[in-house]
């Protein structure tokens, strides 16, 4: 029977000691369980996506930003070809001037008609005086009476034409305003401060009304959706304090708040892991990252990053050391 050499025994003891030391180290480094007043769930960081789309149909003449560029709210990011609209605007502005001149002419016609009425009225009064004294016949009086009525009818028509001319001016001015609004719509503006996620068109393409040119990510509005079982979801309050820890940033706790708690339970989606397979019906919780933190760390957190969201079930439960916010 062979005997084991002392050297082999020593080597075996060293291996066992190293294994025991490694096991003890891993035991010390194991993640501590959450306090009773906290709950957590896995999810992915999501950002609000906003499309920059056309209000009218047209040919895209300019598209400045590239994917990954930052744009500011109100900045013009694209333009549609507007030559035809500018020509229509000039023609309509000329129509406004013509309508205003027509108003002046009709008002002059009213003044002339008023003068004719005044003259006809004076002629009738003279005729009435002369008929009473027997100097003219009754036939002349009738003609003067008819002349006065005709002058009054002409004045009424002239006043009606003034109203029509005024209405034509209003209509032409409204068309000018409408064309200016449409012309303004050819400049596509960024509705938010955000990063260009997709560039969906290129200059020269014809876009229909509602056609999308860009998709922007609102980096100030990011959230994580998690699922909690009934016993824990019932303790989550809206606007309660929360934390988000991303896999890519394990040492950085992101301040957050709970901004949505589903009013009814649902089956957990397949892509969301749960603690036990027995948990089937869960409540959807949305945890929104603090906009001020996102603004200060714009290039750290990115949409799609997986991580864990922690929510407070009891306001008196302190956050563990690894979930404390720096500076607090």
What's the pLDDT tens digit per position in 19-53? 666 554 444 443 456 778 899 999 999 988 999 99
Total-model pTM:
0.62
Residue 213 has pLDDT above 60, yes or no: yes
Q: How far apart are CA 312 and CA 97, in angstroms?
A: 69
With 80 as the cut, is the pLDDT of residue 16 above it? no
Distance between CA atoms of residues 278 and 275, nearest Å: 9
Q: Which two tokens stand for residue 251?
A: 């040492």
Indicate whether 183 pLDDT > 50.
yes
**Number of neighbours of residue 12 by Cβ within 10 angstroms:** 11
| Reported confidence tier of residue 169, pLDDT bands at 50, 70, 90 | confident
* Tokens (6 digits) for 301: 């957190």
Q: Which residue has the higher pLDDT, 313 or 149?
A: 313
In this predicted structure, what is the pLDDT of residue 113?
64
pLDDT category, 58, cuts 50, 70, 90? very high
Q: Are 43 and 309 in contact (CB under 8 A)?
A: yes
Q: Is the pLDDT confidence value at 172 over 70?
A: yes
- Kindly state the DSSP code that residue 306 receives in the 8-state scheme: E
Give the percent of the chain with pLDDT over 90: 34
Under DSSP, is residue 2 helix (H, G, I), strand (E, B) or coil?
coil
Q: Which residues of 228-254 are buried (b: 16+ CB within 10 A; e: fewer)?
A: bbeebbeebeeebbbbbbbeeeeeebb
Helical H segments across the chain, by residue range: 6-28, 83-133, 138-184, 230-233, 291-296
Nearest CA-CA partner of 242 in 261, 259, 220: 259
pLDDT of residue 211: 94
What are the structure tokens assigned to 82, written together? 């507007």
Look at residue 1 in the predicted model and tell me its pLDDT.
41
């Amino acid at each position: 029977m062979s005997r084991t050499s002392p050297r082999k025994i020593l080597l075996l003891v060293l291996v066992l000691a190293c294994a025991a030391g490694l096991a003890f180290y891993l035991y010390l480094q194991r993640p501590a369980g959450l306090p009773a007043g906290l709950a957590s769930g896995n999810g992915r960081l999501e950002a609000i996506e906003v499309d920059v789309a056309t209000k009218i149909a047209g040919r895209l003449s300019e598209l400045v930003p590239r994917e990954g560029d930052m744009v500011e709210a109100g900045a013009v990011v694209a333009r549609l070809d507007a030559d035809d609209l500018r020509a229509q605007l000039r023609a309509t502005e000329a129509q406004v001037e013509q309508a205003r001149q027509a108003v002046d002419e009709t008002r002059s016609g009213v003044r002339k008609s008023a003068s004719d009425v005044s003259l006809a009225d004076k002629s009738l009064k003279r005729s009435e005086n002369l008929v009473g004294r027997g100097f003219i016949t009754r036939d002349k009086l009738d003609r003067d009476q008819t002349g006065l009525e005709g002058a009054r009818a002409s004045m009424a028509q002239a006043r009606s034409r003034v109203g029509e001319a005024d209405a034509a001016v209003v209509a032409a001015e409204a068309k000018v305003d409408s064309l200016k609004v449409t012309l303004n719509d050819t400049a596509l503006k960024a509705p938010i401060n955000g990063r260009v996620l997709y560039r969906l068109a290129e200059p020269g393409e014809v876009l229909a009304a509602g056609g999308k040119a860009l998709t922007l990510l609102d980096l100030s509005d990011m959230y994580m959706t998690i699922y909690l079982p009934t016993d824990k979801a019932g303790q989550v309050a809206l606007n309660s304090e929360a934390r988000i820890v991303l896999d890519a940033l394990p040492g950085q706790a992101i301040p957050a708040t709970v901004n949505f708690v589903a009013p009814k339970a649902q089956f957990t989606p397949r892509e969301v892991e749960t603690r036990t397979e027995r948990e089937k019906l869960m409540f959807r919780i949305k945890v929104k990252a603090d906009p001020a933190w996102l603004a200060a760390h714009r290039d750290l957190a990115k949409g799609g990053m997986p991580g864990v969201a922690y929510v407070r079930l009891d306001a008196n439960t302190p956050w563990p050391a690894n979930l404390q916010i720096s500076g607090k």
